[in-house]
Amino acid sequence: MAFESKNPFLTNKSFTATSASSDNKVHQATLIDYNQEMTLSGTINKTLILFLLLTASAIVVWWMAFNGMNPLLPAIGGAIVGLILVVIAAFKPQYSPVLAPGYALFEGLFIGGVSAIFEAKYPGIVIQAVGATFVTFAVCLGLYKFKIVQVTEQFKSVVVAATLAIATYYLISWLVSIFTSYTPAHYGNSMMSIGISVFVIVIAALNLFLDFDRIEKGVQEKMPKFMEWFGAMGLMITLVWLYIEFLRLLSKLSSRD
């Protein structure tokens, strides 16, 4: 729900500004508390916490949806509140320890509602999308960890440009479809629509490399402790985007059967 990465969290501006502030404090201090620095293990732990919160929230909505509640309302409400929290955190990363868990809970409402809607129409699609998302995450993490994929400046530029192009296309298509009878190319289950979904999934997956790289650099630059929540939140945003795109692709493939 947010869009150098798909989301505004792991950008150079946010991390550089925070790092500069941290450096000033270090030069002025006589004693450095290394427990207050961003660590990789701390970021991983906080990512797991956010994942558990999101999953718990999604399960509640899922259960309620299959017991008679309309899942559309919590999905829309969760998406709106989640987006608001994303915007606030993008400008105020120091509030991430509070905003990140809130985002996970409300985004869970969105995920749970959307998943229930897709599952009702295409039984079994959710477990497929979850599996595809986890496999993609594991593969990208392995490729990054073993330096098979190098995150160079050119790599970042290409991925960011493609991501912005996708976001712009989605926004324009949505606005045009509201006021006209135009049907965007990514709607329906045509081969072109499926091809667009595959392309978007590839770009979303490539954003994971940018997220991994930015978190690693944040640790190396000894950023403040709250940046663990900030980095974890950014990674969750990319994973949510990837999961939704897998749902859309699988629904298109299922509707062709």
Task: Write the pLDDT tens digit of every residue in 118-168.
Answer: 999 999 999 999 999 999 999 999 999 999 999 999 999 999 999 999 999
Return the half-sphere exposure (C-beta side, CA atoms, 13 A cut-off) of residue 46.
26
- What is the model's pLDDT at position 177? 87
Residue with tokens 């324009």: 172
Give the whole-angstrom CA distance, residue 166 versus residue 169: 5
Token pair in block for residue 121 = 């129409």
Judge contact between 86 and 143, C-beta under 8 A: no
Mark the ranges of the chain whose per-residue pLDDT is less than 70: 1-35, 257
Q: What's the pTM value of the predicted model, to 2 decimals?
A: 0.86
Q: Where are the domains of the chain?
A: 34-255
186 in helix, strand or coil?
coil
Tell me the torsion sign for CA atoms 44, 217, 106, 128: negative
